[in-house]
Amino acid sequence: MAADFKILIHKNSDNLHLKLIGDFDRASAHEVVNALKRNCRGASRVFIHTNCLNNIHPFPQDVFHNQLTILKKRSFLLAFTGQHSGKLVPDAKEFS
């Protein structure tokens, strides 16, 4: 995982918020998916906030999208927010 990467996790009612901070690499992508697996129980909406990301390495998006397909059977709405959201949002065909 990138040395400066962190995930701040916040739950309120049925919402889960993951704020991604630092550089996003392959290990960071796995860490986000693991955080989702550990914390999504009971959440109907999950927000992944990307404003605090610095560098997004090119290959983690593929790893991230492939790992997210594991979670598609869970029943929550996944929303990406922030200026880097477009770089992390999976293609609708991949996640449907």
- What is the rounded distance in angstroms from the CA atom of residue 63 to the CA atom of residue 14? 27
Q: Give a yes or no: residue 69 inside a domain.
A: yes
Residue 57 tokens read as: 């390495």
What is the residue type of 83? Q
Cα dihedral 90, 18, 11, 82 sign: negative
9, part of any domain: no
In a domain, 14, yes or no: no
Radius of gyration of the chain (CA): 12
Q: What is the pLDDT of residue 69?
A: 67
pLDDT confidence of residue 6: 96
Q: What's the distance, CA 20 to chain centroid? A: 8
Backbone torsions φ then ψ of 25, nearest 5 degrees: -125, -170
Residue 73 lies in a domain: yes
Note the pLDDT of residue 40. 87
At which residue do the structure tokens 């400066």 appear?
A: 4
pLDDT at 1 over 60: no
Taking residues 85-91, what's their average pLDDT?
77
On whether residue 3 sits in a domain, the answer given is: no
Is residue 46 assigned to a domain?
A: yes
- Structural domain for 48, as ranges: 24-95
Q: How many structural domains comprise the chain? A: 1
Count of other CB atoms within 10 angstroms of residue 91:
8
Tell me whether residue 8 is in a domain. no
Q: Higher confidence at residue 83 or residue 76?
A: 83
Task: Note whether residue 53 is domain-resident.
Answer: yes
Read off the pLDDT of residues 15-68 as tens digits, 9 standing for 90 and up: 999 999 999 998 898 899 899 989 988 899 999 999 999 988 876 667 777 777
Contacts of 52 (CB under 8 A, 6+ apart): 19, 20, 21, 22, 82
